[in-house]
Amino acid sequence: MSVYQDMENQYGPGCYPMRDMVLLEGTGAVVKDDHGKSYIDCVAGHGVANVGHCNPKVVQAIKNQAEKLITCSGSFYNDARAKLFQKLIEISPKNLNNVFLCNSGTEAVEAALKMARLVTGKTEFIAAMRSFHGRTFGALSATFNPEYRKPFLPLVPGFKHVPYNNFEKFAEAVNENTAGIILEIIQGEGGVIPGNAAFFKSVRDLCDKKNIVLIIDEVQSGFCRTGKMFALEHFDIQPDILCLAKGLGGGVPAGAILFPEKYKFSTGNHGSTFGGNPLTCAAALAAIEFMQENNLAGQAAEKGKYLLEKLEKIDSPKIRQVRGMGLLVGIELKEKVQPYIVALMEKGILALPAGSTVLRLLPPLVIEYEQLDEVVKQIEEVLK
């Protein structure tokens, strides 16, 4: 065990399932440990490094901005923030014309929940079973997993969970006090479960009819991950509020909500000291420009298709189903996944669980085809 592991074990928070490795470097889809061993990284900081580790364009933007201005709170105008606002509005659905910047996914969800209460004057929310929206009190109230919720009860009141993709159950759960419905387009943590078009369309109509704010959480699925800039582009669905984080900052902590002008907060309703700081904005702007210049969405779509086809050909009695969108891919096993995550690590592949039986792959979207071949080869080996 290295000195860094000892130190983290002694001083760390205790809330993470620690892996027996110390990562020191990363480039593209590869990370290196303290013994110089390389791994193909299908964790990517939990779906953050969409543009690759230490993407040169992002690194350069951070360096340039660090020499100019690192911090500048939201009450002062700033060039990098203004440009990021404009860029985010350019790439998102047409009805979303304003941005609030924060630092993480859970903060984006908090902002969305507060906004939905403000604009409707109502207080309750409906979320899906198996959803994951974060771990602060509001976001945890929207998150389904009882294990995450139980130690912290009582949570924010007024949240109901109903089966994903089941419109009737959502419609039944609505009452005169429903402020918002919050949904992922594809459930990531919940097991890589895609939503369906008819469900989204019906939920959209229901929200319009009942003055309910439709919050779409693309913290995990956004920024080209599923083969489109945002996963909602695969479906005919307009969100009222879009939650973003993970891939947004090119590796730097960043979160955002996008919303229509009529939803704008009033002074004092919300805020964040670090949200929209110039360093993050410069990194995010560079990351999004890289995505556009390199058609990263197209790359994710093609590589995702390639990966799924190869995974589907694996002949293993342990596999129940292979599914995914773009490079958000799940392999559902008939048994617990954890031993296979460890076995893959030993073979130089980093992968994630999604629930107890799904092996999840969230590689950087710049991953090369030969690296995907290696991932498939090693998965086939361990699932033999």
DSSP letter, residue 16:
S
Stretch that binds ligand PLP, among 128-136, 231-239, 262-270, 339-347 (CB under 6 A): 128-136
Which stretches of the chain are assigned E, i.e. beta strand?
23-27, 30-33, 38-41, 98-102, 124-128, 159-162, 178-184, 186-187, 193-194, 213-217, 241-244, 255-259, 319-325, 328-333, 349-350, 352-354, 358-361
- Note whether 278 binds ligand PLP by CB under 6 A: no
Question: Please, which residue, 341 or 382, has the CB nearer to ligand PLP?
Answer: 341
- Note whether 220 binds ligand PLP by CB under 6 A: yes
Q: Interface mask (CB under 6 A) for ligand PLP, residues 186-215, using x and -?
A: --xx--------------------------
Stretch that binds ligand PLP, among 66-74, 102-110, 115-123, 260-268 (CB under 6 A): 102-110
- Note whether 141 binds ligand PLP by CB under 6 A: no
Contact assessment for residue 138 and residue 167, using Cβ atoms and an 8 Å cutoff: no
Stretch that binds ligand PLP, among 54-62, 66-74, 183-191, 277-285 (CB under 6 A): 183-191
Stretch that binds ligand PLP, among 131-139, 146-154, 363-371, 372-380 (CB under 6 A): 131-139
Write out the binding residues for ligand PLP, residues 294-353 only, by CB under 6 A. none
CA separation for the pair 359, 295 (Å, rounded): 27
- Exposed, middle or buried: residue 262 (CB in 10 Å: 0-12, 13-18, 19+)? exposed
Question: Please, which residue, 105 or 383, has the CB nearer to ligand PLP?
Answer: 105
Of 57, 87, 200, 217, the catalytic one is 217
Question: Please, which residue, 124 or 189, has the CB nearer to ligand PLP?
Answer: 189
CA separation for the pair 168, 279 (Å, rounded): 45
Of 85, 100, 125, 132, the catalytic one is 132
Active site residue 217: yes
CA dihedral of residues 221, 223, 226, 232 (deg, nearest 10): 70
- Note whether 105 binds ligand PLP by CB under 6 A: yes
DSSP letter, residue 1:
-
Question: Please, which residue, 221 or 238, has the CB nearer to ligand PLP?
Answer: 221
Please report how close the Cβ of residue 221 comes to ligand PLP at its closest, in angstroms. Answer: 7
Helix H, strand E, coil C: the string for 311-378 is HHCCCCCCEEEEEEECCEEEEEECCCCHHHHHHHHHCCEECEEECCCEEEECCCCCCCHHHHHHHHHH
Least Cα distance to 130 among 139, 113, 143 occurs for 143
Question: Please, which residue, 105 or 376, has the CB nearer to ligand PLP?
Answer: 105
- Note whether 245 binds ligand PLP by CB under 6 A: yes
Which residue(s) pair with 125 in the sheet? Answer: 159, 180
How distant, in Å, are the alpha carbons of 117, 125, 168, 181, 357 from that of 162? Answer: 20, 11, 10, 11, 22
How distant, in Å, are the alpha carbons of 133, 325, 341, 360 from that of 196? Answer: 19, 12, 29, 20
- Report the residue from 31, 61, 219, 287 that binds ligand PLP according to the rule CB under 6 A: 219
- Note whether 360 binds ligand PLP by CB under 6 A: no
- Note whether 110 binds ligand PLP by CB under 6 A: no
How distant, in Å, are the alpha carbons of 54, 103, 145, 286 from that of 63? Answer: 12, 20, 40, 12
Of 246, 259, 290, 303, the catalytic one is 246
Neighbours of 319 (CB within 10 A): 17
Instruction: Count interface residues toward ligand PLP (CB under 6 A).
Output: 15
Question: Please, which residue, 199 or 382, has the CB nearer to ligand PLP?
Answer: 199
Please report how close the Cβ of residue 318 comes to ligand PLP at its closest, in angstroms. Answer: 26
- Note whether 124 binds ligand PLP by CB under 6 A: no
Please report how close the Cβ of residue 206 comes to ligand PLP at its closest, in angstroms. Answer: 21
- Report the residue from 106, 120, 165, 238 that binds ligand PLP according to the rule CB under 6 A: 106
Residue numbers annotated as active site: 132, 217, 246
Residues lying near ligand PLP in the complex (CB under 6 A): 46, 104-106, 109, 132-134, 184, 188-189, 217, 219-220, 245
